[in-house]
Amino acid sequence: MVEIKGITLPVLLIEIKERGDIDALVEEIKGKVSSKLFEGSYVLIDSKGLLKKEEIEKIENAITNRGIKSVKRLSWEGIEESKRERLLIVQKHLRSGQRVEYNGDILILGDVNKDAQVIATGNIIVMGKLRGIAIAGALGDESAMVVALEMEPQQIRIGRKVAIMSEEERKSPGYPEVAKVEDGNIILERA
């Protein structure tokens, strides 16, 4: 019923393969993540539209009680098939000089290192450290956002707005942050 994959340290992906009794599903997941190895990990839950919101919340509550730091939900519920394809999932760290471009949203399950670039017409989510260049809303969409677990970018662009930071200026405060355009400027706030 459930498959757990280690995507990149410290991120796990829990895929719900088939619908079943929610209590049995919760117990199966708790059993699979009971090892101390998973303590402090970040978990992505992909229910593939098989579970209701309350059922996903029950799973989230069960695993956060097991020492899992953060749970993110990949939910396709109520999303048309064509919209599903708007998300590109990159399951690796991006090294200096590497570049990822996509017409839609990008989810990076790893770090974006210095001099690496991520360019999306939609939002950018980095489940790791963002130290390179992130360009969200590349076609001029200033409602796009950049989210990272550790935000230390060289440059962030959202639509036509640009924020450039030197290494001395920017150190991650130790919690996830969101970069977005507000009152004509790019601002950072706690996620």
CATH architecture under which domain 86-190 falls: 3 Solenoid (2.160)
Q: Would you give the end-to-end CA distance of the chain in angstroms?
A: 31
pLDDT tens for residues 157-177? 999 999 987 777 778 788 899
Whole-number average pLDDT of the chain: 81
Domain boundaries, the chain: 2-81, 86-190
Q: Which of 108, 82, 105, 86 is nearest to 95 (CA)?
A: 108
More confident residue, 70 or 147: 147
- What is the pTM for the complete model shown? 0.59
pLDDT digit string (tens) for 33-64?
777 777 766 677 777 778 888 888 888 888 77
Fold of the domain spanning 2-81 = Alpha-Beta Plaits (3.30.70)
The Cα 75–Cα 171 span in angstroms is 31
Confidence at residue 78, expressed as pLDDT on a 0 to 100 scale: 39
